[in-house]
Amino acid sequence: MKKNITKNLFLYIVFSTFFACNSDEKQTVVTKTNLVMSDEFDTNGAPNSSLWSYNIGTGSGGWGNNELQYYTDRPDNVVVEDGMLKITAKSESYMGSNYTSARILTKAKYEKKYGRIEARIKLPWGKGIWPAFWMLGANSDTVVWPQCGEIDIMEYLGNNPTRVFGTVHGPGYAGGQSISKGYTLPNGRFDTDFHVFGIEWDENYINYYIDDVLYNQITPADVPGEWVFNQPFYIILNIAVGGNLPGSPNSETTFPQTMLVDYIRVYE
β partners of residue 59: none
Task: Decide: 118 and 30 in contact? Cβ < 8 Å.
Answer: no
Q: What does 20-61 look like in DSSP terms, one character per residue?
A: PPPTT----S-----EEEEE---S-BS--TTT-EEE-B-TTT
Query: Torsions phi, psi of 11, nearest 5?
Result: -65, -35
How remote is the C-alpha of 242 from its chain's centroid?
Answer: 15
Give the rounded distance of the alpha carbon of 61 from its chain centre.
19
Cβ neighbours of residue 132 under 8 Å, at least 6 residues apart?
Answer: 1, 152, 154, 155, 156, 236, 237, 238, 239, 240
> What is the length of the chain?
268
Q: Give dist(CA 95, CA 20) in Å, integer.
A: 41
Separation between Cα atoms, residue 220 and residue 218, nearest integer Å: 7
Distance between CA 125 and CA 160 in Å, rounded? 8
Catalytic residues: 150, 155
